[in-house]
């Protein structure tokens, strides 16, 4: 079941679209689910489909098309490192390597305590700040160095 | 209209059409995979790239609108280079396994690769591999690695079948066609995806690896199942039907067929086929030759006719029999002096017998359904009873038509329904009266005095008035009666009101024909009121048991309105002659079994629901000693000295019985001389039975189609109840309960279905699990048994959310 909060958020989103085109809200709906649960299960997809009057498969198509939807449980904090061209030229490989050692996990994995998840991401459209990663798809951290990464991790650890 | 030039040919085409459409008109072939004339444009395969003058790069013909004065080159150097480039990309991930591919020889990719593919591949890296998914008993995805992502199957589901069961998950190289969490594809039209797939990614599970396409000879035929009369091609190998595919007929089935039409052929080769005539002697069945078997039948009938009177001989036939068979059956019966012949086995109201203007039919050409803008569909399990007619209505609704439903069950029709009145079966008539009354008010029209008087007392509900409002806004209204309405104990009154409703809207009124030859059977005179000798109708023949029954393709416990009554009549009879393609339950009560052949092994004619007579030839030889029923009846006629039984061919039978020219004046839905009366339907205490005939139980052939019998639609029926009724009875979903009707009962699993009206209980008919019960309508009693174990069978009505408490 979608929580009351998610339903309320989706209903607000639906006001932006014609009444007979509820499926326009599918991307937002999936985002609300992920914001609350950290990831989107196939059950959640069914719930979203039922809520918006879509086919289950149509929701799955959207959820699997876009990279920023987590289709398996990720950590409380998910760090997504851009590994596209600009970032790689500016040292994204080192960023990934450093995160891997610091967190003790590989890409697509979650720390044992469930605190951190690490993902590889696609271009965030902020190449001037390369190399960079996002935190839970919300906060962008750029011009990364190992020191800066340590600082951010320490900060996240406290919160 | 605009003019466009394709490869130097000038073509006139409609504004808004595409270059592809124009090319078809000009007779120019443009290679393509994802384009399909019945599906939306997706332009994702890029195979149809063509050169358009003044355009900077090649454009996809399927998605480029034709413009006035446009000059297109489909085979110029640029176009061919583009097409070859696309072909090379498509072949990058496509396995080059044509020799072991089931599609080999009839593969669009293979054909086009011959024209546009390179001799060898420049791609040496690893190819993509897709794990196969399990999506049901009909379609195999074992070789999904062959998929070229044309998405025809996905669009078919969305647009034609009305339910998106397949989709393309992930993207780029990882994109793959799959169903949601390995759920099965349950659409009753799903087999068309196999035809649509341009490669060997979706293949027919029952057919796979049983034949190569070039080993098959193709014989045209006509579907023996629903009233549509889909045109079929039977593909034959080694004297057996190896598979069935559609033959395009825009006026009937377009380019589709239902899964029932496609996969029922497995029943043709069923091990249950009856191969030799059999006679029961001293309680034991012995196989005999035709001559003694027919002698035995003739003697028996002669004896009963002379001792008890010819009126003690009765004949029942399914409307899945051919015109020729039905014509000879009634001619034989009348020839020996009995008018007891009927094909309306599931009907219960015969009060319009002889009062109807002609054969009950659709009331319009099938193709006109797409043009209607308002529908009133009364008492129909539309999707399951008429899969492709439902599809046509779905297309009409997509183009703005409004569908209004009056029915006792709210099945998901996979289309938006404008208004619906879901009511208990005994309120059906009253609800129609409400619609009529509201419609007259809406239109400010005067009803005939008698009708006015009849409807004056009804109170119009909101649902009925919404339906009336919708109908009154229509220009082309179609009022259609489904199987449920035709089987209803007040079917004639329902028809009278439906006709009044359609008259008020100047619309069309018709019956959705239950079976392939429902119209043909009427025209053949296989009804007790036709011809010179009148007799009893199907219900009377059982209510007042006869001494002899001739059964043509009938399985009384499954095909009759009241199987309980039918079986006791069969058991009490002195002689039962079962003409059947199968060894069936008749072994218990019959005296003679005569092996007759199914539609594929005889020539014959079906007259479909729009009154179109379609003849076909036998595709294969009769199996073993089985013979076409028309030949069997002809010999019986000769043995019984009935005159006029000297036919050499089925065509001669047809020529005598069916004057194909001017069939129209033999069709007629108007009923004269029956007064409208909106009476309550008997006793409405207790739970009212709502019975559908499950799609894969509807006739003898499909009951024996092995793969169809493994689908969800063929699951053992449950007893379905509204949640509030379950509470009253104190039962839970999954409980096994005793369902009693008349003096028999069966054990069924309870399933909650809140879309059913209060006071109703849905118990399917036509299935062995419920064959012991009585009439398809009436009161039913449910008592809780002691066991509450959950049987393994999954019961599910497709498209409905099934809750298990």
DSSP readout, B756-777?
SPTTEEE--SSSGGGTTS--SS
Q: Measured between CB atoms, which of B164, B170, B183 is closest to A64?
A: B170
CA distance A63 to chain B (A): 8
B788 CB burial (10 A radius; 0-12, 13-18, 19+): middle
Which pLDDT value is given to residue B686? Answer: 83
- Which tokens belong to B184? 């099965």
**Beta-strand relationship, B2-6 and B9-13:** antiparallel
The C-alpha atoms of residue B549 and residue B152 are separated, in whole angstroms, by 51
Interface contact A60-B180, CB threshold 8 A = yes
Give yes or no for A15 touching B (CB within 8 A): no
- Which tokens belong to B67? 């413009």
Q: Which of B165, B166, B167, B184 to mutate to test the interface with A (most CBs of A within 10 A)?
A: B167
Which residues are CB-contacts of B524 (< 8 A; sequence separation ≥ 6)?
B323, B326, B327, B330, B657, B658
Interface contact A42-B180, CB threshold 8 A = yes
Interface contact B171-A57, CB threshold 8 A = no
Give yes or no for B179 touching A (CB within 8 A): yes
Q: Which of A21, A42, A61, A67 to mutate to test the interface with B (most CBs of B within 10 A)?
A: A61
Give yes or no for B181 touching A (CB within 8 A): yes
**What is the edge-to-edge ordering of all strands in the sheet holding B217-222?**
B217-222, B231-237, B240-246
Which pLDDT value is given to residue B531? Answer: 85
| DSSP-assigned letter for residue B356 | B
Which pLDDT value is given to residue B684? Answer: 61
Task: Report the residue of chain B nearest A42, measured CA to CA.
Answer: B181
Give yes or no for A55 touching B (CB within 8 A): yes
C-alpha closest to that of B246 among B264, B236, B258: B258
Q: Is the pTM of this model over 0.90?
A: yes
CA distance B332 to chain A (A): 55
Cα dihedral sign, B506-B512-B517-B518: negative
Are B378 and B485 in contact by the 8 Å Cβ rule? The answer is yes
- Which tokens belong to B464? 């009925």
Alpha helices in B573-699 (DSSP H): 586-589, 629-639, 650-657
Which residues are CB-contacts of A23 (< 8 A; sequence separation ≥ 6)?
A52, A53, A54, A58
Q: Measured between CB atoms, which of A42, A46, A57 is closest to B167?
A: A57
- Which tokens belong to B368? 């006109």
Alpha helices in B200-309 (DSSP H): 259-263, 290-307
- Which tokens belong to B626? 């089985």
Alpha helices in B277-361 (DSSP H): 290-307, 323-335
Are B772 and B782 in contact by the 8 Å Cβ rule? The answer is no
Interface contact B164-A60, CB threshold 8 A = no
Q: Measured between CB atoms, which of A42, A45, A57 is closest to B164?
A: A57
> Residues A13-32: what's their mean pLDDT?
96
Interface contact B166-A55, CB threshold 8 A = no
Residues linked to residue B242 through DSSP beta bridges, in sequence order: none
Give yes or no for B163 touching A (CB within 8 A): yes
Q: Measured between CB atoms, which of B170, B171, B179 is closest to A57?
A: B179
Q: Which of A42, A46, A63, A64 to mutate to test the interface with B (most CBs of B within 10 A)?
A: A64
Which pLDDT value is given to residue B798? Answer: 39
Interface contact A65-B170, CB threshold 8 A = yes
- Residues of B with CB below 8 A from A58's CB? 164, 167
CA distance A144 to chain B (A): 30
The C-alpha atoms of residue B743 and residue B741 are separated, in whole angstroms, by 6
Residue numbers of chain B with a pLDDT score lower than 50? 787-794, 796-805
pLDDT, tens digit (0-9, with 9 covering 90-100), for B453-495? 989 889 999 999 999 999 999 999 999 999 999 999 999 999 9
Note if the bond before A131 is cis, omega within 30 degrees.
Answer: yes
Are B775 and B561 in contact by the 8 Å Cβ rule? The answer is yes
C-alpha distances (whole Å) from A112 to each of A6, A74, A120, B114 are 28, 11, 19, 55
Query: How many beta carbons lie within 10 A of that of residue B729, not counting itself?
Result: 17
C-alpha closest to that of B240 among B215, B277, B276: B215
B146 three-class SS: helix
Give yes or no for A64 touching B (CB within 8 A): yes
Q: Which of A57, A61, A72, A122 to mutate to test the interface with B (most CBs of B within 10 A)?
A: A57
Q: Measured between CB atoms, which of B163, B170, B171 is closest to A55?
A: B163
B6 CB burial (10 A radius; 0-12, 13-18, 19+): buried
CA distance B405 to chain A (A): 20
- Which tokens belong to B58? 């090649």
C-alpha distances (whole Å) from B148 to each of B152, B562, B653 are 10, 52, 51
Which pLDDT value is given to residue B796? Answer: 45
pLDDT, tens digit (0-9, with 9 covering 90-100), for B115-136? 898 888 899 999 999 999 999 9
Which pLDDT value is given to residue B788? Answer: 46
* Whole-number CA gyration radius for chain A: 17
**DSSP for B460-515, written as a single string:** PPHHHHHHHHHHHT-SSEEEEE-HHHHHSTTHHHHHHHHHHHHHHTT-EEEE--SS
Are A15 and B124 in contact by the 8 Å Cβ rule? The answer is no
- Which tokens belong to B726? 């379950």
Task: Report the residue of chain A nearest B162, measured CA to CA.
Answer: A55
């Amino acid at each position: 079941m979608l929580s009351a909060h998610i339903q309320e958020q989706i209903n607000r989103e639906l006001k932006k679209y014609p009444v007979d085109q509820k499926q326009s809200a599918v991307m937002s709906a999936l985002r609300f689910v992920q914001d609350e649960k950290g990831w989107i299960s196939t059950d959640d997809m069914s719930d979203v489909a039922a809520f918006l009057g879509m086919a289950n498969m149509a929701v799955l198509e959207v959820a699997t098309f876009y990279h920023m939807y987590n289709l398996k449980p990720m950590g409380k904090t998910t760090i997504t490192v851009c590994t596209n061209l600009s970032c790689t030229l500016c040292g994204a490989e080192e960023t990934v390597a450093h995160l891997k050692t610091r967190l003790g996990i590989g890409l697509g994995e979650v720390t044992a305590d469930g605190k951190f998840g690490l993902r590889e991401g696609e271009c965030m459209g902020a190449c001037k700040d390369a190399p960079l990663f996002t935190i839970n798809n919300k906060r962008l951290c750029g011009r990364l160095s190992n020191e800066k990464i340590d600082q951010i991790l320490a900060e996240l650890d406290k919160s | 209209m605009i003019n466009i030039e394709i490869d130097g040919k000038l073509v006139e085409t409609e504004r808004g059409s595409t270059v592809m459409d124009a090319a078809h008109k000009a007779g120019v072939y443009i290679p393509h995979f994802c384009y399909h004339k019945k599906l939306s444009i997706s332009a994702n395969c890029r195979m149809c790239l063509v050169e358009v003058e003044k355009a900077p790069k090649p454009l996809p013909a399927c998605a480029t609108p034709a413009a006035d004065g446009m000059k297109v080159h489909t085979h110029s150097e640029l176009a061919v280079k583009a097409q070859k480039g696309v072909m090379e990309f498509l072949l990058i991930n496509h396995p080059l396994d044509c020799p072991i591919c089931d599609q080999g020889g009839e593969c669009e990719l293979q054909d086009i690769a011959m024209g546009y593919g390179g001799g060898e591949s420049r791609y040496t890296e690893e190819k993509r591999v897709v794990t196969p998914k399990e999506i049901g008993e009909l379609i195999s995805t074992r070789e999904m690695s062959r998929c070229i992502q044309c998405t025809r199957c996905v669009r078919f589901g969305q647009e034609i079948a009305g339910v998106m069961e397949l989709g393309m998950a992930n993207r780029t190289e990882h994109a793959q066609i799959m169903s949601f969490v390995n759920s099965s594809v349950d659409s009753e039209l799903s087999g068309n995806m196999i035809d649509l797939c341009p490669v060997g990614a979706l293949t027919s599970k029952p057919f796979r690896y049983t034949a190569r396409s070039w080993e098959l000879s193709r014989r045209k035929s006509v579907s023996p199942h629903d009233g549509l009369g889909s045109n079929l091609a039977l593909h034959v190998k080694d004297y057996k039907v190896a598979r069935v595919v559609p033959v395009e007929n825009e006026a009937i089935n377009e380019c589709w067929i239902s899964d029932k039409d496609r996969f029922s052929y497995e029943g043709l080769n069923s091990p249950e086929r009856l191969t030799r005539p059999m006679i029961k002697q001293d309680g034991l069945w012995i196989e005999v030759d035709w001559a003694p078997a027919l002698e035995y039948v003739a003697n028996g009938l002669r004896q009963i006719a002379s001792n008890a009177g010819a009126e003690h001989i009765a004949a029942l036939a399914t409307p899945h029999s051919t015109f020729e068979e039905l014509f000879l059956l009634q001619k034989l019966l009348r020839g020996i002096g009995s008018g007891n012949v009927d094909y309306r086995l599931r009907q219960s109201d015969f009060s319009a017998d002889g009062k109807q203007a002609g054969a009950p039919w659709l009331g319009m050409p099938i193709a006109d359904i797409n043009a209607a803008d308002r529908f009133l569909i009364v008492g129909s399990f539309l999707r399951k009873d008429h899969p492709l007619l439902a599809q046509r209505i779905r297309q009409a609704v997509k183009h703005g038509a409004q569908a209004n439903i009056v029915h006792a069950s709210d099945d998901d029709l996979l289309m938006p329904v404008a208004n619906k009145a879901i009511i208990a079966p005994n309120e059906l008539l009253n609800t129609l009266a409400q619609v009529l009354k509201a419609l007259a008010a809406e239109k400010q029209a005067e009803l005939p005095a008698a009708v006015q008087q009849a409807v004056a007392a009804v109170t119009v509900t909101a649902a009925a008035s919404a339906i009336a409002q919708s109908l009154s806004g229509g220009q082309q209204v179609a009022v259609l009666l489904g199987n449920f309405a035709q089987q209803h104990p007040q079917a004639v009154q329902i028809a009278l009101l439906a006709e009044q409703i359609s008259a008020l809207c100047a619309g069309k009124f018709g019956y959705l024909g239950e079976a392939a030859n429902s119209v043909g059977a009427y025209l053949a005179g296989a009804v007790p009121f036709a011809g010179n000798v009148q007799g009893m109708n199907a219900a009377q023949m059982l209510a007042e048991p006869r001494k002899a029954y001739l059964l043509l393709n009938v399985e009384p416990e499954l095909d009759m309105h009241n199987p309980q009554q039918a079986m006791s009549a069969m058991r009490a009879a002195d002689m039962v002659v079962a003409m059947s393609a199968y060894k069936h339950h008749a072994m218990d009560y019959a005296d003679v079994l005569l092996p007759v052949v199914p539609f594929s092994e005889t020539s014959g004619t079906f007259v479909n629901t729009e009154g179109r007579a379609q003849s076909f030839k036998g595709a294969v030889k009769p199996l073993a000693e089985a013979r076409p029923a028309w030949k069997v009846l002809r010999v019986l006629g000769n043995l019984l000295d009935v005159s006029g039984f000297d036919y050499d061919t089925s065509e001669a039978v047809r020529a005598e019985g069916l004057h194909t020219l001017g069939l129209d004046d033999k069709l007629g839905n108007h009923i004269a001389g029956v007064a409208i009366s909106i009476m309550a339907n008997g006793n409405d205490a207790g739970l009212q039975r709502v019975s559908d005939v499950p799609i894969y139980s509807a006739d003898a052939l499909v009951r024996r189609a092995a793969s169809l019998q493994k689908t969800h639609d063929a699951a053992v029926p449950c007893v379905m109840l509204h949640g509030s009724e379950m509470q009253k009875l104190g039962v839970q979903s999954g409980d096994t309960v005793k369902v009693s009707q008349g003096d028999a009962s069966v054990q069924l699993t309870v399933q909650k279905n809140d879309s059913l009206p209060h006071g109703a209980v849905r118990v399917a008919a036509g299935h062995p699990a419920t064959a012991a019960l009585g009439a398809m309508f009436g009161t039913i009693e449910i008592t809780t048994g002691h066991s509450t174990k959950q049987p393994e069978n999954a019961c599910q009505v497709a498209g409905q959310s099934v809750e298990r408490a």
